Structure 1
Amino acid sequence: MIAIIDYGAGNLKNVQHALKTIGISSRITDQPSDLEEAEGIILPGVGAFGEAMKRLRESGFDHKIIQQAEAGKPLLGICLGMQLLFEKSYEYGEHEGLGLIPGEIVPFEGAVKVPHMGWNQLELNGHFESDPIQKQIGEGEYVYFVHSLYARPADDKDVLFTTTYGETFTSAVKRENVTGMQFHPEKSSNTGMQLLKNFGGIVS
């Protein structure tokens, strides 16, 4: 069973429906203690980084997420949930994140329209060619984005996918048992379903 964290900042039902469609059992929970019993964890998220971290701290989810991730439990962050995995964000100031992946969240620069919204392509990192999270994912496949900032990992070895939008940015990360996807796999048609299925395979 995968625990989908409910801290008031995510498209929980969409994620749960996507998992159900591909036969993966999940449970939406607002209780940090439930993460201990789960086989895997999904941290969704929409909205502002600072407010989301505040909610995680107030609910006690922050420490429990870190504890379970450091114990080796598979964790997937989606959209804002991916950004929260990092050390800090510069969205409306400077805010501390969960610190599970070294690096920071920064705004797009230049003449591109923000938010970056709609379908865009994945560019694969050969470093993860044999990783189960990348199973049956081909170069140039399309996924669905809605975001105004992006992750800048401290270590290039943590970059799972990149995407080009004015500049090349990190669109997914993986560091041991911790995975993050800036796009919405639950809204990304067959490619998104395959990625969720791959995560489910890691969990089981």
Structure 2
Amino acid sequence: MIGIIRYGAGNIFSLTAALERLGIPYGMINSEADFEQYDRYIIPGVGHAGAAMKKLEQTGLVPTIKALNKPTLGICVGMQLLTSYSEEGNSNLLNLFPIKTLRFKDSNLYKVPHTGWNQVFPQKENPLFENIPSGSHFYFVHSYFIEYDEAYTLSSANYNNKFSASIWRDNFYGVQFHPEKSGTYGETLLTNFYKL
């Protein structure tokens, strides 16, 4: 059963709608005691990484999250929170991955935010991307990206520069795109996460 960590900065409706479509059982985590009920976790997130981190700190759940040893998936800003630092609000984050979240540079060809469908290319073998062909399209909405680092990048995408579309370290995963809005392959990824 998946526990969705509720801290006031997540787009929970579209995520729960996708899980319901897939028949994946889930519940909400509002306190430390709630973690025991679940065997995997999702950290959703939309908006400003610095503001999201402040909200997460206010819940008092940060030490518990950092100590999790079950599969944990950060989505969009939820993924960025797993990194050490974001240029958005000059913010220190959870530091579960020693990599940074940086802002896309504006250019004539590439408008910020990066919004829409983009190809994703797995860089490592991992059950999270089982039955998802390399180059499959996922839906993105973000102005900040996670720097590409071979040690932690699970899949990459390109928009003005190469960046980490997903990351992986031990039991922690993050995806910059929104699997809940990414059609069949997004649903496949959520199902894969449920099976981890």
Q: TM range, normalised to the smaller chain?
A: over 0.9
- Secondary structure of 1:65's match? helix
1:37 Cα offset (Å): 2.6
1:157 aligned onto 2:151: yes
Q: Deviations over 1:136-191 (max 9, x none)?
A: 010111100000000125x4121111111111111111112110000000000001
Taking only aligned residues, the RMSD between alpha carbons, in angstroms, comes to: 1.2
CA distance, structure 2, for counterparts of residue 64 and residue 13 of structure 1: 24
CA distance, structure 1, for counterparts of residue 58 and residue 83 of structure 2: 19
Greater mean deviation of Cα atoms: 30-39 or 141-150: 30-39
1:101 alignment counterpart: 97
- Secondary structure of 1:161's match? strand
Of the candidates 162, 166, 169, which is equivalent to residue 172 of structure 1?
166
Identity %: 41
1:123 alignment counterpart: 121
5 Å-filtered alignment, 1:1-204, equals 1-68=1-68, 72-92=69-89, 94-111=90-107, 112-125=110-123, 128-129=124-125, 131-152=126-147, 155-202=149-196
1:110 Cα offset (Å): 4.7
In structure 2, give the amino acid aligned to 1:47: G
**TM-score under structure 2 length normalisation:** 0.95
Q: Deviations over 1:29-67 (max 9, x none)?
A: 322321133101100001111111111111112111112
CA distance, structure 2, for counterparts of residue 141 and residue 96 of structure 1: 32
CA distance, structure 2, for counterparts of residue 124 and residue 40 of structure 1: 22
Gaps of 5+ in 2: none
Are the aligned partners of 1:33 and 1:64 in contact in 2 as well (CA < 8 Å)?
A: no
1:74 Cα offset (Å): 0.5
Gaps of 5+ in 1: none
**TM-score under structure 1 length normalisation:** 0.91
In structure 1, give the amino acid aligned to 2:82: L
CA distance, structure 1, for counterparts of residue 106 and residue 180 of structure 2: 29
- Secondary structure of 2:32's match? coil
CA distance, structure 1, for counterparts of residue 96 and residue 175 of structure 2: 14
- Secondary structure of 2:135's match? coil
Greater mean deviation of Cα atoms: 174-183 or 31-40: 31-40
